[in-house]
Structure 1
Amino acid sequence: MKHIFYLLLLTLTFYGCKDNSTTIKIEREAQATEEKAQLFFNGDILTMASETPRYAEAIVEHNGKIVFVGSKADAEKSYENAKYVDLKGRTLLPGFVDPHSHFGMVSNTMGQVDLNPEPVGEIKNIKDIIDALKTYKKENNIADGEWIFGWGYDDGQLAEKRHPNKNDIDKALLNNPVYLQHTSGHMGVANSMGLSEMDVSASSKSPNGGSIVRFPNSKVPSGLVQETAMYPFVRHMLEELSNKQAEFFDTTQHYYASNGITTAQDGMTDRNTIAFFQSQADGGKLDIDLIALAGYSELDSNIQDSTLHFKTYKNGFKVQGTKIVADGSPQGKTAYFSKPYLTEVPGCYHNCRGLPSLTQDALNTLFVTAYNNKNQLFIHCNGDATVDMVIAAHEKACKTLNEPLDKDRRTIVIHAQFSRKDQLEAFVKYNMEPSFFTNHAYFWGDVHTENLGKERANFLSPMATALQLGLKPTNHTDATVTPIDPIFTIWTAVNRLSRSGVIIGENERIAPYNALQAITTNAAYELFDEHLKGTLENGKLADFVILDKNPLKVEPMAIKEILVMETIKEGVAIYEKK
């Protein structure tokens, strides 16, 4: 969901939840030389290899790949010397394939103040934010003049129902530059010293595609910077925190593994970070596979750079395609809609429909360049007006290049949260696919209903309609906008309950099996990995997740209580729960 400079929100609360678990790191060299096959049995082995649930009695792994799926008797005949792994009634699935998150920025959040609201954090009001900032400065011995960064505040969940402003922060930290990132990743708030450090003043003009929000009836910045106006702040923040990236790399991938993920994604990656990821991979430090989406601002030079390994894994890492950010966030009221928001939008006073991040001409040019170079596109779109722009850019590029509209490019519309049915029909016609975000139903469903009305809110991430039309939608966490927890995405897709317990779009609820497809089969397909991952079939990688219960056999509301017991990457356990 984020631009390359959008800070991701990793909740240390969720790291704390792993205290009773242990991760097991085994070097890939040991895995490669392992010769004894492993025979898994006595559990629900759900293959995900068909449109309806299909189980196998046994599955055999050998040298990192699946070599048998079928009956236990046949497995024993073919693999007499195999090591037996008793599942003890647990459920074995393909390892989860992350459809969209931001792995690369996760480590940066560890050097910041956690300002998340419940249930992720503890912030209830602006006073809590101020207290957290003061405590952080004191406990970390931060001197006057040093930057302090916070992340995860959500104005919609604060008691005041507004953003903090520079005056609020100045009361506590007048002598430190401060920048606080909104939970959406599309805006943030700076105090007076922070604004001064970044040369933002009353005379500053808002950049194209962004806004420096002012106090009412004034030119004085309130501290809130939205979309492109926040980029300098976040760029500076990432520079300040970049030394944490290597320090927490291993912790980050084990955090993913502890949630059953065997293939992670970094949803928008600059050249330096791509080089860092490749160096980690080449050094044998990847326990999971990692896929990067290169940033669109470097599209031309990236295409010319043969070292990026587009679409091809090298030591567990690949750059799959290019990420474009086309609008903002619905909860931040910067997503671009065809009809106005129903509630007040900060800094906007007429026909407030949000902001496109790019002009139509700029988007068209990116599509033509990418399509001409067979570069897969992933476009961040939340509002329906932005989806219209993407469809128009697709049509323009195909016409310019004289290529079929339905060529198998697998252009992915990331989030696609408020796509209309006619737009989903266009996806079918043009061979495009959506990657939805049903966690919004829980975290911001009530907010969307208020800001957009019931009709639009109820068609949020319309997975049921997409499936009925024949699409292969995925469903992501956009971590750490919401926490890495694929099980929770199943729960939100199946139940679509908001924080207040309201069903957000009952007709768009889907079956648990379809929700599993969105993080296994369909996720592999959208990333051109269906020959390697996503199902339990002979010849594919032995990437498994073992759950304590079967999502298809528990009550829908109990799905979120299911635990990841073990994660296996190419036959090697990389996480085990005590």
Structure 2
Amino acid sequence: MSSVRCKPSRSLSSLSFCLLGAAFISANLHADTLYYNGPILSMVDSAPFLDAVLVRGDKIQQTGRLAELEINCQQPCEKRDLNGRSLLPGFIDAHGHYTMTLDFLAYRNVASPPVGPVKTMDDLIAQMGQQKQSSSPGGGKHWILGAGYDDSLLAEKRHPTRHDLDKVSTDIPVFVRHVSGHLGACNTLCLEMAGITADSDNPEGGVFRREEGSTQPNGVLEENAMAAIHSIFPQQGLEEQLNRLPELNRYYAQYGITTVQDGATSNAGMALLKEAADKQLLDLDVIAYPYTAWTDLNQYAPESGLDKPYSHHFRNAGIKLVLDGSPQGKTAWLSAPYHHPPHGQGEEYQGYPILSDEQLEEKLKEYFQKGWQVLAHCNGDAAAEQLIQVMGKLKKAGIHQDRTVMIHAQTVRDDQLKRMKELGIIPSFFVAHTFFWGDWHRDSVLGLERAQRISPLVSAKKEGLKYTIHNDTPIVPPNMPLLLWTAANRETRSGQPLGKPQRASVKDALKAITINAAYQHYEEDRKGSIEPGKLADLVILERNPLMIPPQQLKNIRVLETIKGGKTVYKAQTL
């Protein structure tokens, strides 16, 4: 096997996507491969540590004693001495946005450290000014696009307005997306092109923010208000997107990920994934969940059955619904007021819903009766309550589906976790928030008491819930060692603990990105653990995560990622 040396880059917007001196490997498959001299972590409670693993083709053939497996290893037999490195099941992305991450390649990275370079509004303006101008198909209007700004980390502690972005350009439309993905900001020309004026009413489930003391839009758009901008965005060509897929696959594989989720897939995203599958360009499994507001379900309806097979690493698995917004953007729907409401909102502001109870009931009834799995975005506990109550009502009417997933479940309460267990709802926690926005939640969004309970992993386990954890990429990078570290340590950017009682054990955190994530996707029979008959989706780590202090988890290197018996990523050797 060979590796390609490349210059390190941590920026998601880097067009090179050069991956920390790593290489994407296209190795010939051996008839058999024998892994030994681990530790080998199976993620099976009855046999957590294995002596050796025999892989035949794309499947795990046998586990057991090395001497026995050597006898059964067919020629040509490749013997892989792990030399004390750890072998685990491949990591599963329990929630993220694969095609959106690809789109962000064309955007300027205006995130704050450690993800990007922006610390002040002037930094943001300067970065946007450097963005290369791209054009829409057919030589249409140029745009300047950016993604990842975070008002909680900017020195000014506010969103960019149209006046800020007019400093980037007044004759080219400028749009920058908030790190949460739930808000964005336009320059004046961008607003004019979208037809957003002082007379524009707020759309249902969204807000056009206004100038103080005026109805004139200030350029900041919340939630469904961004639809007006999306409708006029320049569209990237399909061939351009297909050509960038190998870079995107490498980006995920370098973190040990073998299965990627594309939550909230759009029409364009579905077309891309189907074409990529047809051309066999997907080296990792990609699971799509079309978003009803962006996707024509007559054209891209999920396939029947909850454990659908893949077609060249792609399957259309279910539906994504969005019930509220973002806690760090202060649009999540809470049952009690925000600690410090957004500027211009009253002291009783609690965020707002995206769907009415009637709309949610109608949608869930239809999707459950069609046998489609549902992912429901609920950040605030009021949104969680809406999902629980509507599902409870439908269950009483004989309409139900286990393994509905509550995405993020950031502020879910203990009484809600108990009812989620009764309804078969799986919480997928965005526990990376404890690091990226923990200080902001404590000091501005929720206050200390509520902030300490965001992503309540321990409470979920006590209720018997098989929870998962995720990064919501591109909101934050798909760094699985860092995700494990956040779950086990719950430490903020400033180094302060946030909710010690909710710290997960390392074993439970590992289960959340392996066997539990496979269960969430109806794939526990073929993924998530090292057992005979399952896919040979594996990751080799430099160190054993169970045998090091939890504080060191984020420093574990992924040495190799193996998808279906084939090495798809190999780190540069030291």
| Shorter-normalised TM range | over 0.9
1:432 CA drift (Å): 1.1
Residue in 2 that maps onto 1:503: 497
Residues paired across the two proteins, number: 557
**CA displacement, residues 380-401 of structure 1 (integer Å, 9 cap, x when unaligned):** 000000001001111222233x
1:78 CA drift (Å): 2.1
- Output the TM-score relative to the length of structure 1: 0.92
Q: Take 2:88 and 2:20, find their aligned partners in 1: how far apart are those partners?
A: 24
Q: Take 1:275 and 1:307, find their aligned partners in 2: how far apart are those partners?
A: 19
Equivalent pair of 1:310/1:321 in contact (CA under 8 Å): no
1:275 CA drift (Å): 3.1
Residue in 2 that maps onto 1:573: 567
1:249 CA drift (Å): 1.3
Residue in 2 that maps onto 1:208: 204
User: Which residue identity is paired with 2:524?
Assistant: E
Q: 1:93 aligns with which of 88, 92, 116?
A: 88
Q: Take 2:251 and 2:504, find their aligned partners in 1: how far apart are those partners?
A: 27
Note the residue ranges of structure 2 that are not aligned, 5 or more in a row: 1-9
**CA displacement, residues 264-285 of structure 1 (integer Å, 9 cap, x when unaligned):** 1101112342232122112222
Aligned pair 1:301/2:298, yes or no? Answer: yes
Structure 2 SS opposite 1:370: helix
1:186 CA drift (Å): 0.3
Q: Take 2:466 and 2:429, find their aligned partners in 1: how far apart are those partners?
A: 11
Equivalent pair of 1:48/1:517 in contact (CA under 8 Å): yes
Q: Take 1:176 and 1:308, find their aligned partners in 2: how far apart are those partners?
A: 47
Equivalent pair of 2:378/2:384 in contact (CA under 8 Å): yes
**CA displacement, residues 127-168 of structure 1 (integer Å, 9 cap, x when unaligned):** 00111122225999xx99621111000000000011111111
Residue in 2 that maps onto 1:83: 78
Equivalent pair of 2:304/2:372 in contact (CA under 8 Å): no
**Map 1:60-139 → 2, pairs under 5 A:** 60-79=54-73, 81=75, 82-137=77-132
Aligned pair 1:374/2:375, yes or no? Answer: no
User: Which residue identity is paired with 1:371?
Assistant: F
Residue in 2 that maps onto 1:329: 326
Q: Take 2:158 and 2:386, find their aligned partners in 1: how far apart are those partners?
A: 31
Equivalent pair of 1:107/1:244 in contact (CA under 8 Å): no
Residue in 2 that maps onto 1:286: 282
User: Which residue identity is paired with 1:469?
Assistant: E
Shift in alpha-carbon separation, 1:310–1:48, aligned structure 2, 3 A: closer
Note the residue ranges of structure 1 that are not aligned, 5 or more in a row: 1-8
Residue in 2 that maps onto 1:436: 429
**CA displacement, residues 344-397 of structure 1 (integer Å, 9 cap, x when unaligned):** 314423521011111111001111111111111100000000001001111222
- Output the TM-score relative to the length of structure 2: 0.93
Aligned pair 1:558/2:558, yes or no? Answer: no
Residue in 2 that maps onto 1:479: 473
Residue in 2 that maps onto 1:4: none
Equivalent pair of 1:262/1:543 in contact (CA under 8 Å): yes
Q: Take 1:526 and 1:105, find their aligned partners in 2: how far apart are those partners?
A: 22
Q: Take 2:386 and 2:45, find their aligned partners in 1: how far apart are those partners?
A: 35
Shift in alpha-carbon separation, 1:227–1:411, aligned structure 2, 3 A: same
Over aligned residue pairs, what C-alpha RMSD do you find? Answer: 2.3
Q: Take 1:545 and 1:18, find their aligned partners in 2: how far apart are those partners?
A: 17
Q: 1:171 aligns with which of 159, 167, 171?
A: 167
Equivalent pair of 1:10/1:483 in contact (CA under 8 Å): no
Aligned pair 1:25/2:19, yes or no? Answer: no
User: Which residue identity is paired with 2:26?
Assistant: K
- Identity of paired residues, percent? 37
Equivalent pair of 1:302/1:308 in contact (CA under 8 Å): no
Equivalent pair of 1:25/1:287 in contact (CA under 8 Å): no
Q: Which has the higher helix share?
A: 1
User: Which residue identity is paired with 2:527?
Assistant: K
Q: Take 1:95 and 1:355, find their aligned partners in 2: how far apart are those partners?
A: 38
| Structure 1 stretch displaced more, 301-310 or 10-19 | 301-310
Q: Take 2:234 and 2:542, find their aligned partners in 1: how far apart are those partners?
A: 38
Residue in 1 that maps onto 2:414: 421
Residue in 2 that maps onto 1:542: 536
Structure 1 SS opposite 2:214: coil
Residue in 1 that maps onto 2:380: 383
1:555 CA drift (Å): 1.2
Equivalent pair of 2:306/2:372 in contact (CA under 8 Å): no
Q: Take 1:175 and 1:310, find their aligned partners in 2: how far apart are those partners?
A: 50
Q: Take 2:485 and 2:99, find their aligned partners in 1: how far apart are those partners?
A: 26
Q: 1:158 aligns with which of 132, 154, 158?
A: 154
Q: Take 2:129 and 2:182, find their aligned partners in 1: how far apart are those partners?
A: 25
Equivalent pair of 2:307/2:522 in contact (CA under 8 Å): no
Residue in 1 that maps onto 2:511: 517
